Amino acid sequence: MTCPVCNDSAEIFDSMQTDRRRGLQGKWKYNTCKNCGLIFISPLPCLDDLGGYYSNYSKSSIINFSLGRGARFPILRKAFHFISGDVDPRDFIGATKGMRVLDYGFGGAGYLCDFHARGVRISGAEIAGYLVDACNSSGLDVHRVDDLDRIPFEDSEFDIVYLMQVFEHLRDPIGFMRELNRILKPAGKVYIALPNNKSVWRKVFGKNWVSGWFAPFHLYQFDRETLARVARQQGFEPTSCWTRTPESWFRLNLKAFIYPEENRLDWRPSWIDMRLVRFMIMLTLRIFELLVRERDCLVMKLEKKRR
Ligand SMILES: [Zn+2]
């Protein structure tokens, strides 16, 4: 396979991965591009395969249209996330009333509902039909996408688009970035959050780095350089970039280490879910990570270049 980021065809074997989180049976191979460092699943699953993988993917997401946690007290929410490491678009996206915003892959719709309640003209796109139906019947403007790589909106429609843990699921990240450029207004902004393949925790946890690997759902593993390269190729300029390790991600990796036979970790209760233990993990992480540049979740802000 040719690397979609740099078109180089020299790849080296990285690892075989299994699904430790949702219990799918199988093994998937990941290769690294020798030239740019992008890690990708090889071979790339076809749409039919992906349909099978996703058939039970998000049935656990429950939509609660009452305003989610943290909507009422944004300052407290931000302070908590500073400690927990959670990456919440409401903390850093300055969308004001009347702005046109797209939540791509809105999942449980918590952020979408909050922005909507604040007068932001927000739309959503999602692959799971029952989530789209639930939101539509509550008067939210959301659209179903059959193929996550196609964006069902008009040219130059949005001021801001954000994707939280979605980009790494896309089969064609290059084509999708081109689509993002198309639907954004001049100087429009994109916020992308995804696992960071340069994270120090990838080296520490190895095959137990399930927050990142998540085979076979995560098709690509980016880092600052590869993501910026894709963005620049498609007419964007990265304007800021940072990394955080959410305590929930770290805890998931810790569970993968503690329970090596478990392959449904997303639903595995454990003593490390206890509040006190979580709090200790948060504090330890925040102190340790003062010394670390490459943490688990990479967030990049891009601006569409004026032509
Ligand atoms: Zn490459």
| pLDDT tens, residue by residue, 164-217 | 999 999 999 999 999 999 999 999 999 999 999 999 999 999 999 999 999 999
Asked, for residue 67, whether it belongs to a domain, the answer is yes
User: Mind listing the pLDDT tens digit for each residue in 27-79?
Assistant: 999 999 999 999 999 999 998 999 889 887 766 556 666 666 778 889 999 99
Mean pLDDT of the chain: 93
What distance in angstroms lies between residue 195's CA and the mean position of ligand 1's atoms? 18
* End-to-end CA, the chain: 33
Strand pairing category for 158-164 and 11-17 = unpaired
CA 57 to chain centre: 15
Distance CA 85, CA 81 (A): 5
What distance in angstroms lies between residue 270's CA and the mean position of ligand 1's atoms? 39
pLDDT value at 125 more than 80: yes
Amino acid at 81: H
Q: What is the pLDDT of residue 59?
A: 60
What DSSP element (H or E) covers 195?
strand 184-195
Total number of domains in the chain? 1
Which residues are placed with Cβ below 5 angstroms of ligand 1, an ion? 3, 5-6, 8, 33, 35-36, 38
Distance CA 155, CA 46 (A): 28
Q: What is the pLDDT of residue 128?
A: 83
Any idea which of 80-89, 129-138, 206-215, 276-285 has the lowest mean pLDDT? 129-138
What distance in angstroms lies between residue 3's CA and the mean position of ligand 1's atoms? 5
Q: What is the pLDDT of residue 293?
A: 95
Asked, for residue 4, whether it belongs to a domain, the answer is no
What distance in angstroms lies between residue 45's CA and the mean position of ligand 1's atoms? 19
What distance in angstroms lies between residue 39's CA and the mean position of ligand 1's atoms? 8
Contact 106, 112 (CB under 8 A): yes
pTM score: 0.95
Asked, for residue 223, whether it belongs to a domain, the answer is yes
What distance in angstroms lies between residue 4's CA and the mean position of ligand 1's atoms? 7
DSSP summary character for residue 66: S
Asked, for residue 263, whether it belongs to a domain, the answer is yes
Domain that holds residue 156: 11-304
Amino acid at 79: A
Q: What is the pLDDT of residue 64?
A: 67
Asked, for residue 3, whether it belongs to a domain, the answer is no
What distance in angstroms lies between residue 147's CA and the mean position of ligand 1's atoms? 24
Distance CA 95, CA 99 (A): 6
What distance in angstroms lies between residue 154's CA and the mean position of ligand 1's atoms? 31
What distance in angstroms lies between residue 19's CA and the mean position of ligand 1's atoms? 25
Portion of the chain with pLDDT greater than 70, in percent: 95
Handedness of CA 179, 104, 127, 273 (dihedral sign): positive
Q: What is the pLDDT of residue 56?
A: 74
Asked, for residue 120, whether it belongs to a domain, the answer is yes
Asked, for residue 6, whether it belongs to a domain, the answer is no
Asked, for residue 292, whether it belongs to a domain, the answer is yes
Strand pairing category for 184-195 and 11-17 = unpaired
What distance in angstroms lies between residue 131's CA and the mean position of ligand 1's atoms? 35
What distance in angstroms lies between residue 40's CA and the mean position of ligand 1's atoms? 10
Amino acid at 306: R
Crossing angle of the two packed helices 275-288 and 247-258, in degrees rounded to 10: 110
What distance in angstroms lies between residue 265's CA and the mean position of ligand 1's atoms? 31
Q: What is the pLDDT of residue 58?
A: 67
What distance in angstroms lies between residue 98's CA and the mean position of ligand 1's atoms? 40
Instruction: Find the CATH number of the domain harbouring 152.
Output: 3.40.50.150
